[in-house]
Chain A
Amino acid sequence: MNIIVCVKQVPDPEAPPASFKVDPAANKVVPPAGVAPVVSPFDEQAVEAALRIKDKQKDTKIVTLSLGDNLVRDVIKKPLSMGADELVLLEDPAFEEGDSWSTAYALSKAIEKIGSYDLILCGRQAADWDAGQVGTGIAEFLGIPCVTVAKKVEVGDGKATIERVTADGYEVIEAPLPCLVTVSNELGEPRYAALKGIMAAAKKQPKIWKPGSGDGDTIAVSADEIGAKGRVTKLEKLFQPVKEAKCEIVEGETPADAAVALAQRLREAKVI
């Protein structure tokens, strides 16, 4: 079983909201000082989904694939330390500032170059732009079926069985291999990287691919198909919504007194 997992490096979404800043002139997010980027949480769950398959089928090979520029090695190697086998990076300034279209296109070309795959896993959406389209796009470019928002992925007998989250439960879906599945948080917590895994990951070197002819360390894409130049959507404006922070804190001698005072205050304000 050959699995490819697409993994994105993002600014830490758990960083305090107060540290979040936008540069309105540049239409860009200002990375908060001293907060390291992380693997997008849904992508980590996609890695976990792959590892759960490998737990049962030992002859599984997991390749993770990331795109960007100046990717932080300790961050982007996390899937390796969790148990993935290889890492491929599309690392070049030309890959940056893409939208779902140009990003999915570049990733699909890299997947064609990797060549053998039975299953491709992505997170349901990335924690920065929350677009939730790259997985579907890769599947469409490769011409394979796609199942989105999975909470369970199992493979066997040439097919994948997927539990897809719906508004009031889930549906069980069967898809032929190869197929692409996007993974949701309902899959459960990803495993921690064990010390052994971290040491093994430290020794592994990523393959680094650039745009080019497709030969050697390049993938077959032209510069105007990827990154900012390959976009089909335009970001007109990025801004932070203004919040009025006016919380009335109800106090009391004891927590119970405060609770009673809160109930009375809510009644006065006709909230209840």
Chain B
Amino acid sequence: MADNNGVLVCGEVAEGKLLAITLELLGGGRKLADELGESLSIALIGSGVKDLAQEAIAFGADKVYVVDDAALKDYQTDSYAAAMDAVVKSANPRALVLGQTSMGRDLAPKMGFKLKTGVSMDCIELSIDPSSKALLQTRPVYGGNARAIFSTGGMPQIATVRSKAMSALERDDSRKGDVVPIEGAVDAAAARIKVVSTVKEEVEGVKLEDAAVIVTGGRGLGGPEGFQELEKLAKTMKGAVGATRPPCDNGWVPAAIQIGLTGKIVSPDVYFAVALSGSSQHMAGCSGSKTIIAINRDPEANIFKEAQFGVVGDWKQVMPPLTEKIKELLAG
């Protein structure tokens, strides 16, 4: 397969819009394609997605492969893999890049094994080796304690990329590109698994991914009541509340607010880390924060190695006056 050429991004659409991660992948993919001197294409898979082709071009794509089928309304492994397979056969890319999302986590390895090639999940950096043109894939391993750079023997070279690891380009509606519809790729009857229902666990207030301020609590809060105190500070600063894994696993708070390697990856301006140790697996989800502030009664806790500001003390005694004083400062 010597003629593999170009970079293919797997697009994702929700509520009629390209996801932020897709715009980021187009931005990052554009750079890789330019370094290679090759083209950047995107696969838009779904139902009613063809209208987004121009937007994908405005954000950097040269070519848009559209698989628009009512059977692709919701993500389902088998039918999306069949659609992606048809796009890969048509585009024959050197690299296939997906987001490290609910869909990318599922689809990327599926494509790797289907196409008999290697995959690197959750990359934070992709680059091109100038001499071999190989895609170098950097990803955190060992719960964030180490980083590894991988290359792939097979083609296409597949990687998923963590959200906010790449930057989107400015929208430019004067950009030109081709739209290639792909028909007949999906056989709905061949889908072996069935999505019976979708349940949204609504979280009130500001969404974690969008919040400029996040107040996160850990195991040290001792129970769901502790999170009410964090809620007060979050409300004062118009921010959101997050949690490490133990409070979610213990059912104190919904799993949807988990921040970390296996939860959400956030990068707010201000991150309050309260009564949490700062494990690598948690830091993997918040180390992109501009300022981290630690409150923990254990001066040896790892979080003090990660934070810029800290108070050593019991959260029960620190949080109420801290919230009060911040409220006063913000009002004044």
Contact = CB atoms under 8 A, between A and B. Distances in A.
B103 to A, nearest CB: 9
A271 B291 contact: yes
A101 interface: yes
Most chain A CB within 10 A, of B140, B199, B270, is at: B199
B293 A266 contact: yes
Contacts of A13: 142-143, 280-281
A148 B105 contact: yes
Given A133-B109, A146-B110, A238 B193 contact: no
Nearest to B300: A16
Contacts of A124: 262
A185 B262 contact: yes
Given A258-B313, A272-B330, A247 B147 contact: no
A124 to B, nearest CB: 7
A195 interface: no
A173 interface: yes
B310 A16 contact: no
A171 B197 contact: yes
For A17, A147, A173, which residue has the most chain B Cβ atoms within 10 angstroms?
A17
Interface string B107-120: 01110111011111
A184 interface: yes
B136 A272 contact: no
B151 A236 contact: yes
Contacts of A22: 146
A150 B313 CA distance: 37
A238 B198 contact: no
A225 interface: no
Contacts of B139: 130
A232 B116 CA distance: 8
Contacts of B330: 272
Interface string B293-323: 1100001001011111111111001111110
B119 A100 contact: yes
Contacts of B201: 168-170
A235 B277 CA distance: 31
Interface in A126-142: 127-133, 136-137, 140-141
B89 interface: no
Interface stretch (B22-30, B58-66, B248-256): B248-256
B329 interface: yes
Contacts of B78: 145
A153 interface: no
B136 to A, nearest CB: 7
Contacts of B188: none
A148 B302 CA distance: 31
Given A169-B200, A236-B150, A239-B147, A174 B302 contact: no
Range of interface residues on A (Cβ < 8 Å): 35 or more
Contact of A172 (B150, B199, B245, B262): B199
Contacts of B270: 271-272
Nearest to A14: B279
Interface string B194-233: 1111111111000000000000000000000000000000
A223 interface: no
B122 interface: yes
Contacts of B70: none
A259 interface: yes
A143 to B, nearest CB: 10
Contacts of B167: none
B152 A262 contact: no
Interface of B: 74, 77-78, 101-102, 105-106, 108-110, 112-114, 116-122, 136, 139-143, 145-154, 192-203, 237, 245, 248-251, 255-256, 261-262, 264, 269-270, 279-281, 291, 293-294, 299, 302, 304-314, 317-322, 325-326, 329-330
29 contacts: A13-B280, A20-B142, A125-B121, A133-B121, A136-B113, A140-B114, A167-B256, A169-B200, A170-B199, A171-B196, A171-B198, A172-B197, A173-B193, A189-B250, A231-B118, A232-B117, A233-B150, A237-B148, A239-B147, A245-B304, A247-B307, A247-B309, A249-B304, A249-B310, A255-B317, A258-B312, A259-B311, A259-B322, A269-B309
